[in-house]
Structure 1
Amino acid sequence: MRIGLLGTGPWAHITQGPALVEHPGVELVGVWGRRPEAAAELAVALGTHPYDSPEALFAECEAVAFALPPDVQAPLAVRAAAAGCHLLLDKPVATTVAGARQVADAVAAHDRASVVFCTLRFAPETEAWVAAQSGTDGWLTGRADWFSPVFGGADTPYSQSVWRQERGALWDVGPHALSLLLPPLGDVADLAAIRAIRGPGDLVHASLRHTTGATSTLTLSHTVPPQAANVTAELRGAAGVSTLPERADGGAVRPFQRAVDALVEAAGGGPAHPCDAHFGLRVTEILAAIEAALDA
């Protein structure tokens, strides 16, 4: 598969660019970025070519991967699908329901494959855990806690991310949490019934009711100190207690390559991955409803 990369930030440098270069099943055609000089620099580092416009890159590719802020990604994804490209999207697809729906509609209208890269869902250990719990009946409740020090004193390349500063952990890691809880517990039954409160910094607590009758809670923050950072998920029910296994400390390159595999399979006529653009739309609807509950 001939694939292009849109975006030149830390995610493109650290994860997506190296993953595409090293993947044996794809050819990285080139890079486009909003800053031409950054695109040229990244293209040199990856051994590929910079492109002056997204459309020029779309014309040379079968698929495109996005490493852009969500509300920059969404309209470009619509244009890419219309140009005939399959989509490897970053999460969240957009921070507005309208933007996410436009992406999902474009994928359907142009019969394109899509995958939304939720890092944990494509890590082998986590993917196996989600599959096993989704095949288990009788869950009563679940929780997902994501305590991150991105804005709490840690030295990370994402601390300067403007969109993360503006939208907080709810929109950045909320999709990860939902990608773990929705498969075993079912869709959120009633968006209007969501309850949420704010805590210190950007901390958010939210409670959800699912179509299976189970309930769940999300606790999300990017403003805890490094010594308080942790990521966990847990389910409780007739089968007992099941806790998310620790992920091997190998970074996000291999999970991203597994997302590429899923896109290649779907584009070749295989089944759509559960984390596709329509799932991305539903995640945006849920996060927007949590935000509305916070505002209320």
Structure 2
Amino acid sequence: MTTLRIGLLGTGPWARRVHAPALAAHPGVELTGIWGRRPEAAAALAQVHHTRPYDGPDELFAACDAVAIALPPAVQAPLAVRAAEAGRHLLLDKPVATSVPEARALAAAADRAGVASVVFFTARFGEQEGEWIAAQAAAGGWFTAHADWLGSVFAEDSSSPYAASPWRRTKGGLWDVGPHALSVLLPVLGDVEAVTATRGPADTVLLTMRHSSGAASTATVGLAAPAAAAGVEITLRGTAGITTLPRRLDGPEPAYHRAVDALLAAAATGLPNACDVHFGLRVTEILAAAEETLSPLMPLEA
């Protein structure tokens, strides 16, 4: 298979900014078409990228080899199951689901169908960040780490296009940026064996974790930090000293291009990618366990 026909599900800001342009520009991909819950948005996005809109997801599945999904997790999971059952490879967004049963059902469907899967985590597929993660995992000897992954999506002066996202307002930064922090910590420190969570201001959450390597880590995640305090920092401490995650020098588009490359490789070879649906499932399980230790999150006011 020299060119993978990929259909896009979703027409929101993330689909318009990253998914559709990257898929349309990728030399190994034919952007077969677009489906969205708002037909007029699907038609407009399809016109921009010289493809066609589809009236329903099943019609799009029938016309492609794989699907890329840019939808809220509660919508993504059941549609991804249907795509897998149709034999379509999966390029998923994080989190794959916010419910453990839904995530397990998705992983099981992908296994039954024998389809390839990749979950897009911007840090894991960023060139500099990915190289750093691999190097630290190979070095080993880390006994502790701390991650700050703080956005200002819900800050008072925010103009973010994601500020009106209903699922983000309901689930908060734990589920939106928590997966990013875990995607860096898990390959370096090992699986999480125990996790607790403490609520801070707004949707801010502090995670405390013990890893299979014996290391302990903490992560502060949230979407309501003041703009001046927002940012991403991850620091590891161990026998090799202290090291920090390199700052991203470009936007998410190059990372998404590499995620597409990973799906192409997994589809061609049958070899699972490290960030496949099972890794996505594990992230969901850890976040769900953390959430159980928290008091209920009050939805943020629009």
Q: Name the TM tier (shorter chain).
A: over 0.9
User: What TM-score do the two structures reach when normalised by structure 2?
Assistant: 0.95
Q: Counterparts of 1:58-207 in structure 2 under 5 Å? A: 58-152=61-155, 153-190=157-194, 194-207=195-208
2:51 is aligned to 48
What is the distance in 1 between the residues matched to 2:229 and 2:140? 33
Could you tell me how far apart the structure 1 residues matched to 2:95 and 2:133 are? Answer: 20
Could you tell me how far apart the structure 1 residues matched to 2:111 and 2:92 are?
A: 15
Deviations 1:74-115 (A, max 9, x none): 000000000010000000000000011111101101000000
Matched, 1:219 2:220: yes
Contact 2:235-2:244 at 8 Å conserved across structures: yes
Q: Does 1:3 align with 2:6?
A: yes
So what's the TM-score if we normalise by structure 1?
A: 0.97
Root-mean-square deviation (CA, aligned residues, Å) is 1.0
Q: Structure 1 segments of 4 or more deviating over 2 A? A: none
Deviation at 1:270, TM superposition (A): 5.0
CA positional deviation for 1:295: 3.1
In structure 1, C-alpha distance between the alignment counterparts of 2:176 and 2:49, rounded to whole Å: 26
Residue number in structure 2 paired with 1:228: 229
Find the aligned partners of 1:48 and 1:243 in 2 and give their Cα distance.
42
Secondary structure of residue in 2 paired with 1:295: coil
Aligned to 2:294: 294
Count of paired positions: 292
Whether the 8 Å CA contact 2:153–2:162 is kept in 1: the answer is yes
Partners in 2 of 1:48 and 1:58 — Cα distance? 15
Query: Which AA in structure 1 matches 2:16?
Result: H
Partner Cα separation in structure 1 for residue 136 and residue 84 of structure 2: 33
1:242-261 matched pairs, under 5 angstroms = 242-248=243-249, 250-261=250-261
Runs of at least 5 residues in structure 2 that lack an aligned partner in the other structure: 297-302
Counterpart position of 1:276: 276
Residues 217-239 of structure 1 show CA distances to partners (whole Å, capped at 9, x for unaligned) of 01011111111111011110111
1:154 Cα deviation after fit = 2.2
Give 1:204 shift: 0.2
The residue matched to 2:27 in structure 1 has which SS? coil
In structure 1, C-alpha distance between the alignment counterparts of 2:162 and 2:50, rounded to whole Å: 25
Ranges in structure 1 where 5+ consecutive residues have no aligned partner: none
Amino acid at match of 2:233: T
CA distance in 1, matches of 2:247, 2:270: 30
- Cα distance in 2 between the residues matched to 1:102 and 1:270: 21
Q: How far apart in 2 are the matches of 1:22 and 1:246?
A: 25
Post-superposition CA distance 1:120-160 (Å, at most 9, x none) = 11110000000000001211011111111000122111111
